[in-house]
Structure 1
Amino acid sequence: MIKVMIVDDQALIREGLNMMLSLYENIEIVAEANNGKEAIEKIEVNEVDVVLMDIRMPVMDGVEATRIIKKRYSNVKILILTTFNEDEYIFQGLNYGADGYILKDVSSKELVKGIETVYEGNVLLQPEVATRVVSAMKNNIVNKSDDVVLKELTPREREIAYLVAEGRTNKEISETLYITEGTVKNHITRTLDKLEIRDRTQLALIIKDID
């Protein structure tokens, strides 16, 4: 059972998401919040696996809430609900460690699949959104050409980076390459340092764009 909290300032959207997700046996809605501040307060008293996070909200927006939650509760996954006109917010959310983002107009099946994806520790890269931010991400964070990016990585680091881009967890990568999870983590850490990026979500976006 995946424990989900819905964060949105519009009651109608919260109610709709709650009703829709409650139809799935593997999803349990444990809390709702109408802004980022309330989300942080409720996550302190509820066991939450995945947060469905709206971006534009009063009191505290979803980007700032993502930053605080990820800092305090790194094990909680955050799936940002977005629209096409929020590229800047998406970029900031990823920079603060969001585990994925998905358009608000997706079907219920796509949303549940997205929740399952981030819950399992994978990166959610919805193509419709990813293509809009990857160019800006490369220019603002990496500021290097594709060739330079790849040349900075060792063959093993490139191999692991491509597996991260496929959405593989550290455990799955370790089993595929016959190395320990600790070794995988060390390679990913060095890769993030070399490319001057924050997390595996950004790494996956960059590698997928190069590929």
Structure 2
Amino acid sequence: MNLIICSDRDPVRNRWQAALSGQHDIFHASVLRDLGILLREAQPDLLLLHRTMVDLETVGRLCRNMAHCRLFVLSDRPDNNEGLALLRLGVVGYANTYIAPARLQEAVRVILTGSVWVGQQLMAHLIRTSLGGGKGASGSPETAAGSRRDRILPELSDREFQIASLVAQGLTNPQIAHRLEITERTVKAHLSAIYAKTGTRGRLNLALLLHGTEQS
């Protein structure tokens, strides 16, 4: 896979390069003019773009013009409103500029499989915004879907179904851990099993499944 990393700061580009080197063919751009040339010549699969380089209008133009390249924006101070605005423009990834190397590797892998990558807080906000806070006419997903759970999600254990329902309400991993009085590591382990058993690829996909169950 061909990747472009674009930032006007050498330390930022070097940080991303170090995290992703050896896994992809990586091209660097430090100014938008060079980025334009690389987009035409390198035929990249993914562009990692530093938010400081562009305004929202430029992001929208890039998303419209990059037919075969996905756009992953990294911000020094990410916030939910900016993240939602970028997702609406067509961005498929949004994270902190200084995301941990292992998380950056995971984010790139997820995006290149066709999924969207955002942080937990934004994902929770997105679920609440898109699905009305995890509640429909029948109440919470856990209550409404419970009567149909054995028919639709029989493979989940009681604890897994409980955690899936809390995800569908927009809770983050730390919030779920606090609510259930378990460790965040245990929540992550359960989520891995839940994704595998349900064939979902992330929190939003899982939330949509649970809400679909609620409405069936």
Same fold by TM (over 0.5)?
A: yes
**Counterpart in the other structure of 2:208:** 207
How far apart in 2 are the matches of 1:205 and 1:66?
28
Q: Between Structure 1 and Structure 2, how many residues are aligned?
A: 160
Instruction: Give the CA RMSD over aligned residues.
Output: 4.0
Shift of 1:208: 7.8
Letter in 2 for 1:207: L
Following the alignment from structure 1 to structure 2, what is the Cα–Cα distance between the partners of residues 93 and 109? Answer: 23
- Residue 6 of structure 1, CA deviation: 1.0
The answer on 1:94 being equivalent to 2:94 is no
> CA–CA distance in 1 between the matches of 2:209 and 2:30?
34
Q: What is the CA–CA distance in structure 1 between the aligned matches of 2:43 and 2:34, rounded to whole Å?
A: 15
Partner of residue 28, structure 1? 25
Alignment-mate amino acid for residue 54 of structure 1: H
Q: CA deviation at 1:10?
A: 1.8
Deviation at 1:144, TM superposition (A): 9.5
Alpha-carbon spacing, 1:30–1:83, altered in 2? closer, same or farther (3 Å)? closer
Mapping 1:68-87, distance limit 5 Å: 68-87=61-80
Which position in structure 1 is the counterpart of 2:124?
Answer: 131
Instruction: Indicate the residue corresponding to 1:167 in structure 2.
Output: 201
TM-score after normalising by structure 1: 0.58
Contact 2:79-2:122 within 8 A present in 1 as well: no
CA distance in structure 1 between the partners assigned to 2:65 and 2:2 by the alignment: 18
Instruction: Determine which of 133, 136, 156 is the counterpart of 1:147.
Output: 136
Cα deviation for residue 39 of structure 1 reads 3.0
Q: Percent identity?
A: 14
| Residue 16 of structure 1 pairs with residue 15 of structure 2 | yes
Aligned-pair distance for 1:17? 1.8
Q: Cα distance 1:209–1:34, how it changes in 2: closer, same or farther (>3 A)? A: farther
Q: What is the identity, as a one-letter code, of the residue corresponding to 2:136?
A: D
**CA–CA distance in structure 1, aligned partners of residues 30 and 96 of structure 2:** 19
CA 1:166 to 1:6, structure 2 compared with 1: closer, same or farther past 3 Å? same
Measure how far apart 1:146 and its partner are.
Answer: 4.3
Q: Which moves more between the two structures, 83-92 or 116-125? A: 83-92
What is the CA–CA distance in structure 2 between the aligned matches of 1:17 and 1:85, rounded to whole Å? 17
Please, which of 37, 46, 52 is the counterpart of residue 48 of structure 2? Answer: 52
Partners of 1:94 and 1:120 in 2: CA distance: 17
The Cα offsets for residues 9-49 of structure 1, whole Å up to 9 and x where unpaired, read as: 32221122223322xx22221232345x6534431222211
**Bigger CA radius of gyration:** 2
- Judge conservation of contact 2:51–2:73 (CA < 8 Å) in 1: yes
**CA 1:205 to 1:39, structure 2 compared with 1: closer, same or farther past 3 Å?**
farther
